[in-house]
Structure 1
Amino acid sequence: MKKLSKTGLLGAGACLLLLNTTLFAQQQQRFIDPANMDLSVKPGDDFYEYASGTWVKNNPVPAKETRWGSFNVLRDFNINAVKSILEKAAADQHAPAGSVEKRVGDFYAAGMDSVAIEKAGYMPIKADLAAIDAIRSVPDLLRKISYLRSNGIAAPLYGFYVGQDRKNVEVMIPQLSQGGTSLPDRDNYLKEDKRSVAIRDAYARYISTLFSLTGSKEADAAANAATIFNIEKQLATAQLSRVEMRDAYKTYNKFFIDDFSKTTPGLDWRTILEALNVKGQDSILVNNPAFFVTVSELLKSVPLKDWKVYLKWNVLKNSAAYLSTPFVNANFAFTRALTGQKIQTPRWQRMSSLTDNNIGELLGQLYVKEYFKPAAKARMEELVANLRKAFAARIKNLDWMSDSTKQKALAKLAAFHPKIAYPDKWENYDGLVIRRNAFFQNVRNVDAWKYNFMISRLGKPVDRTRWGMTPPTVNAYYNATLNEIVFPAGILQFPFFDPNADDAVNYGGIGAVIGHEMSHGFDDNGSKYDADGTLRNWWTDEDRKNFDAKTAALAKQYDGYTVLDTIHVNGKLTLGENIGDLGGLNVAYEAFKMTKEGQSDEKIDGFTPDQRFFLSWAQVWRGNILPEFAAQSILTDPHSPGPYRTIGPIVNMDAWYKAFNVQPGDKLYKKPEDRIRIW
Structure 2
Amino acid sequence: MTKTCRLQDDLYTYVNQDWLEKTEIPADKPSISSFHELAEEIDEKLLHDLDLLVEKLPTLGKSPMRECVAYYQLASDQELREKLGVSPLLPYLEKVEKLQSLDDLVQQLPEWILSGMPVPFQLFVDTDMKEAQYYTLYAGAPALILPDKTYYEADNPSKEALLQVFDHMSCELLQAVGKTQEEAKELLGLAREFDRKIAPYTLSSEEAADVKRIYNPREIDTVDQYSQSMSFKQLITTLVGQTPKEIIVMEPAYYEQFQQLVNPTTFKEVKAWLYLNTLRSFTNFLTEDIRQIAFQYSQALSGSKEMTASKKQAFYLASGTFDQVLGEYYGQKYFGQEAKKNVEDMVMRMIGVYKQRLKKNSWLQQATKEKAVTKLETLGIQVGYPSKMAPIYEQLQVTSKENGGNLVSNAQRFTNQVLTYQFKLFGQQVDRDLWEMGAHVVNAYYHPQLNVIVFPAAILQAPFYDLEQHPSANYGGIGAVIAHEISHAFDNNGALFDEKGNMNNWWTPEDYETFEQLAEEMVTQFQGLPVGEKQVNGRLTVSENIADAGGLSCALEAAKTEQDVDLEAFFINWARVWRQKSSKEYQELLIAIDVHSPNYWRANKQPQNLPEFYDTFQVSREDHMYLSPDKRVTIW
Q: Is the 8 A contact 1:156 1:314 kept in 2?
A: no
What are the equivalent positions in structure 2 for 1:215-226 lying under 5 Å apart? Answer: 215-226=178-189
- Encode CA deviations 1:183-212: one digit per residue, 9 max, x unaligned: 321223334433221111111112212111
DSSP 3-state at the match of 1:344: coil
Q: Is the 8 A contact 1:188 1:199 kept in 2?
A: no
Q: From 327, 332, 335, give the equivalent of 1:369.
A: 332
Measure the CA separation in 1 of the matches of 2:53 and 2:511.
56
Q: Is the 8 A contact 1:321 1:328 kept in 2?
A: yes
Aligned partner of 2:316 in structure 1 is 353
Which stretch has the larger CA shift, 381-390 or 93-102?
Answer: 93-102
1:627 Cα deviation after fit? 0.4
Which stretch has the larger CA shift, 536-545 or 510-519?
Answer: 536-545
1:163 Cα deviation after fit? 1.1
TM norm structure 2: 0.96
Q: From 332, 339, 355, give the equivalent of 2:302.
A: 339
Q: From 157, 164, 179, give the equivalent of 2:120.
A: 157
1:632 and 2:599 are equivalent in the alignment: no
Measure the CA separation in 2 of the matches of 1:242 and 1:93.
44
DSSP 3-state at the match of 1:155: coil
Measure the CA separation in 2 of the matches of 1:446 and 1:415.
36
Distance 1:101 1:529, change over 3 A: closer
Q: Is the 8 A contact 2:608 2:625 kept in 1?
A: yes
Measure the CA separation in 1 of the matches of 2:119 and 2:155.
26
Q: Is the 8 A contact 2:492 2:519 kept in 1?
A: yes
Q: Is the 8 A contact 1:147 1:276 kept in 2?
A: no
Which amino acid in 2 is paired with 1:269? F
Measure the CA separation in 2 of the matches of 1:401 and 1:303.
54
Q: From 262, 269, 275, give the equivalent of 1:306.
A: 269
Measure the CA separation in 2 of the matches of 1:597 and 1:278.
60
1:434 Cα deviation after fit? 1.0
1:95 and 2:59 are equivalent in the alignment: yes
Q: From 543, 548, 551, give the equivalent of 1:581.
A: 548
1:264 Cα deviation after fit? 3.5
Measure the CA separation in 1 of the matches of 2:253 and 2:27.
42
Aligned partner of 2:616 in structure 1 is 659
Q: Is the 8 A contact 1:85 1:366 kept in 2?
A: no
What are the equivalent positions in structure 2 for 1:282-297 lying under 5 Å apart? Answer: 282-297=245-260
TM norm structure 1: 0.90
Measure the CA separation in 2 of the matches of 1:425 and 1:385.
23
1:360 Cα deviation after fit? 1.7
1:145 Cα deviation after fit? 4.1
Measure the CA separation in 2 of the matches of 1:185 and 1:156.
19
Which stretch has the larger CA shift, 178-187 or 646-655?
Answer: 178-187
Measure the CA separation in 1 of the matches of 2:437 and 2:389.
12
Aligned partner of 1:31 in structure 2 is none
Which amino acid in 1 is paired with 2:395? G
DSSP 3-state at the match of 2:317: helix
DSSP 3-state at the match of 1:571: coil
Which amino acid in 1 is paired with 2:456? P
Distance 1:108 1:118, change over 3 A: same
DSSP 3-state at the match of 1:124: coil
DSSP 3-state at the match of 2:214: coil
Flag structure 2 segments of 5+ consecutive residues without an equivalent: none
What are the equivalent positions in structure 2 for 1:410-559 lying under 5 Å apart? Answer: 410-427=373-390, 429-437=393-401, 438-559=406-527
Flag structure 1 segments of 5+ consecutive residues without an equivalent: 1-36, 599-608
1:279 and 2:247 are equivalent in the alignment: no
Q: Is the 8 A contact 1:100 1:363 kept in 2?
A: no
Measure the CA separation in 2 of the matches of 1:148 and 1:597.
61
- Encode CA deviations 1:592-635: one digit per residue, 9 max, x unaligned: 1111222xxxxxxxxxx101000011000011110000001111
Aligned partner of 1:147 in structure 2 is 111
Aligned partner of 2:72 in structure 1 is 108
1:398 Cα deviation after fit? 1.8
Aligned partner of 1:3 in structure 2 is none
Aligned partner of 1:6 in structure 2 is none
DSSP 3-state at the match of 1:284: strand
DSSP 3-state at the match of 1:400: coil
Measure the CA separation in 2 of the matches of 1:120 and 1:51.
51
Which stretch has the larger CA shift, 299-308 or 441-450?
Answer: 299-308
1:302 Cα deviation after fit? 4.3
Aligned partner of 2:578 in structure 1 is 621
Distance 1:167 1:426, change over 3 A: closer
Which amino acid in 2 is paired with 1:583? G
- Encode CA deviations 1:109-158: one digit per residue, 9 max, x unaligned: 10110011011111112111112222232222233444222113x23212
Distance 1:280 1:194, change over 3 A: closer
Measure the CA separation in 2 of the matches of 1:263 and 1:315.
25
Q: Is the 8 A contact 1:110 1:439 kept in 2?
A: yes
1:444 Cα deviation after fit? 1.6
Measure the CA separation in 1 of the matches of 2:442 and 2:57.
31
Measure the CA separation in 2 of the matches of 1:96 and 1:405.
55
Which amino acid in 1 is paired with 2:582? I
Which stretch has the larger CA shift, 449-458 or 656-665?
Answer: 449-458
Aligned partner of 2:177 in structure 1 is 214
Which stretch has the larger CA shift, 136-145 or 527-536?
Answer: 136-145
Q: From 248, 258, 268, give the equivalent of 2:231.
A: 268
1:318 and 2:281 are equivalent in the alignment: yes
Aligned residues: 631
Measure the CA separation in 2 of the matches of 1:554 and 1:450.
40
DSSP 3-state at the match of 1:419: strand
Measure the CA separation in 1 of the matches of 2:265 and 2:461.
53
Q: From 519, 535, 539, give the equivalent of 1:568.
A: 535
Measure the CA separation in 2 of the matches of 1:281 and 1:433.
32
